[in-house]
A and B are shown apart, each in its own frame.
Chain A
């Protein structure tokens, strides 16, 4: 998985940095979804009593 996007060099070498890799988009969505699932589960099991909220 790439973290960054690079331009393609016509000379075959490494290109210039052009931005973040959009392959990471799914990971950011998954991280938020994981947080939501874990928080919802903890809230459900703890009876809503001792978890702070955002």
Chain B
């Protein structure tokens, strides 16, 4: 049984114990979202770069799946999860300053260990959330321009210049997401981040990994949701 469910003292998590980091529903969300994002990027950019195929149906279906996943994630995060674990706080700013100073050779105390997420993870999430919502919002508007089994298209809903703005936001957001996905995969593949990558597959990290990378005061193991 995971240590977090045993309600043991957070500081005394045994090295070989388990601390729940991502529950099954969150892992399913992550991997469905990942599949949808790769499908969306492939169907968006491959035709642009000359690989022609019937991309539109795959693209809009993947987009609807992504929008649905994000909606569930938002509801779950707001109601059932610890929202503050993803909010950049004063300690994150102080840690950032320490990291910069240490990078330039200054002798300053070590950064305080991370909570459930560290400062850069929170910053990454903020950026992805902003652009993802922009892409989804504009993508949902674009659905009005195509026929689907559920509705008939109405391309005259907005004027040409409005559609231009919507396509521009969608396009810049999509290219930004390519950058973000590259960076995300890079970190997931780094050996010093494998404890996080593993936890997105099996849901937990070991007590040893928890104590090495996280501050129990900022992320109590018994609070894992």
Contacts and interface: CB of A to CB of B under 8 A. Distances in A.
B183 A50 contact: no
Report, as a range, how many residues of chain A touch the other chain.
20 to 34
Given A18-B164, A20-B175, A54-B124, A35 B190 contact: no
A10 interface: no
Contacts of B45: 25
Contacts of A19: 164, 167-168, 170-171
Contact of B178 (A16, A20, A25): A25
Contacts of B178: 25, 28-29, 32
Interface string A11-54: 00000111110101100110111011001101100101111111
Contacts, number: 88
Interface string B88-122: 00000001101100110000001100100011110
B192 A53 contact: yes
A32 B183 contact: yes
Given A32-B178, A43-B190, 15 more contacts: A16-B164, A19-B167, A22-B48, A22-B171, A24-B172, A28-B176, A28-B178, A32-B179, A36-B186, A50-B102, A52-B118, A52-B120, A54-B120, A54-B124, A54-B184
